[in-house]
Structure 1
């Protein structure tokens, strides 16, 4: 059975200069999910990572996403969100191992759980 995970990070904007509190009324929420956590390390089997960016519960269009992985190959290192606030990349690998993917939005990073790439034929 494949497992989908969801991680989110809230970015609360500038600190209030009077009280030093973050203004979370203008918070951007960054959610990251993957369609599976285990795949075959054959260079073809892939995991799709999806990020969704919202602000005040509304989708953020045009947000720049930087993608980084601890191993394997990403389909793109940078994407932008569409009108629904979402964007995706795929991760493949020819080498077995456990890798993570991080999506960065406005300096806020959300990192996935470890994705297992099992040896081909195992």
Structure 2
């Protein structure tokens, strides 16, 4: 629940994604990477936590399909979902922990959600 920390984390992740050689990816994967970079940039530039969370929904909609194509993920990644996020439409995220730590509601509802899939 710290917008400044969210911005810093987005910046770090952004630099990693920008360093990827996307020319070796299929068009769909390239599209996901491009959209993820766009969302990370928006998150990094924002100082409003609610705005960051809105972009985080779209970021995860693009990152999770990429992660699902990874073979032998180390560590195991858990796809988690909060049914109340995104105006009760639900929203997903990746975690290295099986225990729920909800990024959409943070301290308000830290354990709201469930594991719906994993990348191993």
TM interval, shorter chain, is under 0.3
Q: Which has the higher strand share?
A: 1
TM-score by length of 1: 0.24
TM-score by length of 2: 0.24
